[in-house]
C-alpha cells in the first residue's frame, strides 16, 4: 500500500514523541511491504511564532493531500494567555471542523504491569477496557459565545442538532457491535434541553442496533462510576465537553496520560491521530516523555485510515511486550526507581516489531 501521512509535530514534547511514532510506521512499512511518505507541517505555538496562525493555510493544503494526520501536541506557557487573540488550541478546533472529524475515539485500557500507578485498588482495574466516543465538532465548544469585554456577562451556548447526534451515535453503536455489544450514553437530560434531544436521538437510533445493549447515565453519576466500577463500561458515548472531561478522568485508570492514544474521524477513512496528553513543556527535550500514546495513535492510524488491522495489532503487541519486559519511562517507573529514555523505550518497541 502507498500512503501519505501528514506529520504535525507541534510544541513541547510533540516533536520527540511524534518522531518515534514515525519510526514505528517506517518499520511497519518495511516489515509489511508498504510505501509510506511523511510530509511535515506547522501547527500550534510554533506555527503562531513562524506565521502568526496556529493552523496556516499551507498546513491545511498539505493535509488535504494526505491519507491521515499524525499530530503531536500543541501549546505551552509561551502561548497560555486565555485572553490572547491567537492561541494554539484554535488550531485544534479549526482542523477538526475543516475536515469534519466529528467523532473522537479514545480507548482506555488498564495494563496489569501498571496497576501500581493508578489511584484505584488493583481489583477494580481488572478487565478495564473501554472506548470513549466523543462528539468533536459541535456542542458548547462551537456554539455562539460572547466574551465579557467591558461588560458584566459572558456566555457559551450548548447546541446540538439531531443529525449531529445521529452521526456520532452511529459510530458508537458500530464500535460496540465489534466489541462487547454494550453502549453507555452520557448526558444531563434531567436539566438540559440539548441533552434531552441527545437522549431521544440515541434511543431512536437504537432500533437499528438492537443487538447492542443501551443504557443512559447522567454525567455526574458517570464521574463516580468510572472510579468505582470502571470494568463495567464497554463503549461510552458523550458530547464534546462531557467526553473531553470524562475521558481525561478515565486516563488515570491506565496509570498515566502518556499511555492513551486517540483518533478523530469522520465519514471517510481520513482521520487525525494524536495522544490525549498535552505538550508537557516542563520535560521537553529531556528524554523523559512517554512515546506510548503517540505510538498507539499510529496503530489507530493503521487501523482506521489505512485499514491495516494486522499491522495495527503488531504495533499494539510490540508495546505490550515492551511493557511486559519491564521497560519504563519516567511517568510509569516505580517511585524512586530507574527509568529509560524516550528513545530507549521506542527502540524496545521497534525491536519487538
Give the catalytic positions in this structure: 141, 188, 220, 244, 248
Which of 100-115 are b and which e, b meaning 16 or more Cβ less than 10 Å from the residue's Cβ? ebbbbbbbbbbbebbb
Whose CA is closest to 133, among 238, 257, 259? 238
Residues comprising the chain, all counted: 353
- Burial of 252 per CB tally in 10 Å (0-12, 13-18, 19+): middle
Residue with the three cell numbers 463500561: 233
Q: What is the rounded distance in angstroms from the CA atom of residue 304 to the CA atom of residue 286?
A: 32
Pure H helices in the chain: 14-32, 45-51, 57-64, 88-98, 122-125, 162-177, 193-205, 219-228, 240-250, 292-304, 309-324, 342-352
Find residue 291's DSSP bridge partners: none
- The residues near 269 (Cβ < 8 Å, ≥ 6 apart) are 67, 304, 305, 306, 307
Rounded to 5°, the CA angle 297-111-229 comes to 105
Q: What is the CA radius of gyration of the chain?
A: 20
Report phi then psi at 221, rounded to 5: -70, -35
Bin 127: left if φ > 0, else alpha if -120 < ψ < 50, else beta.
left
Strands 103-109, 261-265: pairing kind: antiparallel
Amino acid at each position: 500500500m502507498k500512503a501519505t501521512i501528514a506529520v504535525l509535530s507541534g510544541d513541547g514534547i510533540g516533536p520527540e514523541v511524534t518522531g518515534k511514532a514515525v519510526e514505528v510506521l517506517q518499520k511497519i512499512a518495511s516489515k509489511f511491504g508498504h510505501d509510506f511518505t511523511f510530509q511535515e507541517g506547522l501547527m500550534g505555538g510554533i506555527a503562531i511564532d513562524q506565521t502568526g496562525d496556529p493552523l496556516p493555510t499551507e498546513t491545511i493544503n498539505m493535509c488535504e493531500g494526505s491519507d491521515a494526520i499524525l499530530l503531536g501536541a500543541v501549546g505551552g506557557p509561551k502561548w497560555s494567555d486565555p485572553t490572547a487573540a491567537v492561541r494554539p488550541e484554535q488550531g485544534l478546533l479549526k482542523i477538526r471542523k475543516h475536515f469534519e472529524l466529528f467523532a473522537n475515539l479514545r480507548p482506555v485500557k488498564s495494563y496489569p504491569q501498571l496497576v501500581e500507578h493508578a489511584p484505584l485498588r488493583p481489583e477494580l482495574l481488572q478487565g478495564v477496557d473501554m472506548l470513549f466516543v466523543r462528539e468533536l465538532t459541535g456542542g458548547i465548544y462551537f456554539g455562539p459565545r460572547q466574551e465579557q469585554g467591558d461588560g458584566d456577562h459572558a456566555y457559551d451556548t450548548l447546541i446540538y442538532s439531531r443529525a449531529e447526534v445521529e452521526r456520532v451515535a452511529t459510530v458508537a453503536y458500530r464500535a460496540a457491535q465489534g466489541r462487547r455489544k454494550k453502549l453507555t450514553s452520557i448526558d444531563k437530560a434531567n436539566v438540559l434541553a440539548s441533552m434531552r434531544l441527545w437522549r431521544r436521538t440515541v434511543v431512536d437510533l437504537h432500533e437499528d442496533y438492537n443487538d447492542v445493549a443501551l443504557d443512559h447515565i447522567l454525567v455526574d453519576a458517570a464521574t463516580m462510576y468510572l472510579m468505582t466500577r470502571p470494568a463495567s463500561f464497554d463503549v461510552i458515548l458523550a458530547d464534546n465537553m462531557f467526553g473531553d472531561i470524562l475521558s481525561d478522568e478515565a486516563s488515570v485508570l491506565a496509570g498515566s496520560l502518556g499511555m492513551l492514544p486517540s483518533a478523530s474521524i469522520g465519514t471517510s477513512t481520513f482521520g487525525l491521530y494524536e495522544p490525549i496528553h498535552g505538550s508537557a513543556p516542563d520535560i521537553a527535550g529531556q528524554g523523559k516523555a512517554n512515546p506510548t500514546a503517540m505510538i498507539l495513535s499510529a496503530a489507530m492510524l493503521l487501523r482506521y485510515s489505512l485499514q491495516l488491522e494486522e499491522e495495527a495489532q503488531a504495533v499494539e503487541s510490540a508495546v505490550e511486550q515492551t511493557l511486559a519486559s519491564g521497560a519504563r519511562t519516567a511517568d510509569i517507573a516505580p517511585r524512586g526507581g530507574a527509568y529509560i529514555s524516550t528513545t530507549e523505550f521506542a527502540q524496545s518497541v521497534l525491536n519487538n516489531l
